């Protein structure tokens, strides 16, 4: 069966959509409106998160089947970071209309090219440590998608995280479990109960489905959105493309794919999941980043548990009697630390952040403070 699946993969049936959006305020001052998280190399290598996402998908999809949806502000940066991406596969949103419109546009364009296409949908700013594990899970999800399910990738929880939504799982069939319900971000108590029960997975916002299945559910639950996308898809690749996109896109309902489709589809028994445990993180904040780059074996950290992110040729980072800290040196200036524990230090051209790791999730406080002071130029 595995070899049969490999063979099907080798035929390149999987399409992939990467949505490259969101500025990532919890990664300020590195991530800015003008240079969001996915463009940064926070991967422990010279690759950006976007490039790493593309590279992760390459064993599953050839570049001509990979589509990237991004905003007008970042189209040029995305195009330059991904020289292999065919030009027509860069789908530029005229304005942000939330995830359902972005994913739906890709689904409509892909379905037009191949009505039987199976596609995966991925964020451009997540990290995956275990490539082989990731591929196994996606391939298992493809088998579910073939059976007409909307497959969502669930992450086996390692701790009672309150920053993610959860998937409540039902029946198990091989690697696949049905998803009974999508759960919002829980309280600590609820998250602990989820973890203890073993029946809940983190909702990682990764999907695999037949494009046609998704569009049919969209038609059922969000007919206006489906209709708008159909109009756009009909004009796609014609001289009318940009005009139609410009007219129709701003009218599309602004809604997340979970709210628009997945929750309602779960109620209809159309959603399943493949539980995965492949070192996934959404790089939500600098604490998470440090943990992810350190890795399960801590090999990405130094002997004192410090994780340093900087470019080759950057100024030196000098850490003395400093432990369990995360240093992002992005300004070609020397960063020196002495006697500091559990800290985040991020150095950029116009701003430097010093933060305790346990407050890293609250970085929006700083961003809000800057807004309230009229210092938006730093955002």
Residues of this chain that bind its own copies (CB under 8 A): 29, 315-316, 318, 320-321, 333-340, 343, 345, 347, 349-356, 358-359, 362-363, 365-366, 369-370, 373, 375, 378
Work out how close the CB of 352 gets to its own copies at its nearest, in angstroms, rounded to a whole number. Answer: 5
- How buried is 347 (Cβ within 10 angstroms: 0-12 exposed, 13-18 middle, 19+ buried)? buried
Work out how close the CB of 19 gets to its own copies at its nearest, in angstroms, rounded to a whole number. Answer: 29
277 backbone φψ class: left, alpha, beta (φ>0; ψ -120 to 50)? beta
| Contact in structure between 152 and 190 (CB atoms under 8 Å) | no
Work out how close the CB of 377 gets to its own copies at its nearest, in angstroms, rounded to a whole number. Answer: 9
Distance separating alpha carbons of residues 306 and 319, to the nearest angstrom: 9
Work out how close the CB of 321 gets to its own copies at its nearest, in angstroms, rounded to a whole number. Answer: 7
CA 232 to chain CA centroid, Å, is 25
Please say which residue, 268 or 333, places its beta carbon nearer to its own copies: 333
| Contact in structure between 138 and 208 (CB atoms under 8 Å) | yes
Work out how close the CB of 74 gets to its own copies at its nearest, in angstroms, rounded to a whole number. Answer: 23
| Contact in structure between 183 and 158 (CB atoms under 8 Å) | no
Work out how close the CB of 234 gets to its own copies at its nearest, in angstroms, rounded to a whole number. Answer: 48
Please say which residue, 8 or 359, places its beta carbon nearer to its own copies: 359
Please say which residue, 142 or 326, places its beta carbon nearer to its own copies: 326
Please say which residue, 141 or 340, places its beta carbon nearer to its own copies: 340
Please say which residue, 189 or 358, places its beta carbon nearer to its own copies: 358
Q: Which residue has the tokens 């039987």?
A: 116
Which of helix, strand or coil describes residue 85?
coil
- Can you read off the two tokens belonging to residue 314? 């950057």
Distance separating alpha carbons of residues 332 and 101, to the nearest angstrom: 39
- Can you read off the two tokens belonging to residue 205? 């916002």
Please say which residue, 222 or 306, places its beta carbon nearer to its own copies: 306
């Amino acid at each position: 069966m595995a070899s049969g699946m490999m063979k099907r993969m080798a035929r390149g049936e999987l399409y992939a959509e990467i949505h490259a959006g969101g500025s990532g305020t919890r990664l300020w001052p590195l991530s800015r409106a003008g240079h969001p998280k996915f463009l940064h190399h926070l991967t422990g290598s010279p690759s950006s998160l976007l490039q790493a996402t593309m590279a992760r998908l390459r064993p599953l999809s050839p570049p001509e089947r990979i589509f990237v949806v991004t905003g007008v502000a970042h189209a040029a940066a995305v195009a330059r970071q991904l020289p292999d991406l065919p030009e027509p596969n860069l789908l530029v949103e005229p304005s942000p209309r939330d995830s359902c419109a972005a994913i739906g546009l890709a689904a409509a364009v892909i379905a037009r090219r191949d009505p039987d296409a199976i596609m995966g949908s991925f964020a451009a700013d997540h990290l995956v440590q275990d490539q082989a594990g990731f591929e196994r899970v996606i391939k298992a999800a493809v088998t579910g998608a073939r059976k007409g399910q909307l497959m969502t990738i669930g992450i086996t929880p390692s701790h009672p995280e309150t920053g993610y939504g959860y998937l409540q799982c039902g029946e198990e069939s091989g690697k696949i479990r049905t998803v009974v319900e999508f759960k919002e971000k829980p309280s600590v108590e609820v998250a602990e109960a989820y973890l203890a029960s073993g029946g809940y997975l983190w909702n990682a916002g990764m999907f695999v489905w037949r494009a046609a299945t998704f569009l049919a559910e969209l038609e059922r639950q969000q007919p206006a959105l489906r209709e708008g996308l159909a109009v756009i898809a009909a004009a796609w690749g014609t001289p009318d493309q940009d005009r139609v996109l410009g007219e129709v896109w701003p009218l599309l309902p602004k809604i997340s794919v979970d709210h628009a489709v997945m929750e309602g589809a779960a109620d209809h028994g159309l959603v399943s999941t493949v539980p995965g445990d492949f070192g996934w993180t959404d790089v939500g904040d600098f604490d998470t980043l440090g943990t992810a780059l350190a890795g399960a074996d801590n090999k990405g950290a130094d002997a004192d548990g410090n994780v340093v992110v900087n470019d080759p040729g950057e100024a030196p980072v000098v850490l003395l009697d400093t432990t369990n800290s995360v240093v992002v040196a992005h300004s070609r200036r020397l960063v020196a630390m002495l006697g500091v524990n559990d800290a985040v230090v991020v150095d950029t051209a116009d701003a430097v952040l010093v933060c305790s790791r346990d407050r890293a999730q609250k970085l929006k406080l700083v961003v809000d403070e800057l807004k309230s002071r009229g210092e938006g130029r730093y955002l």
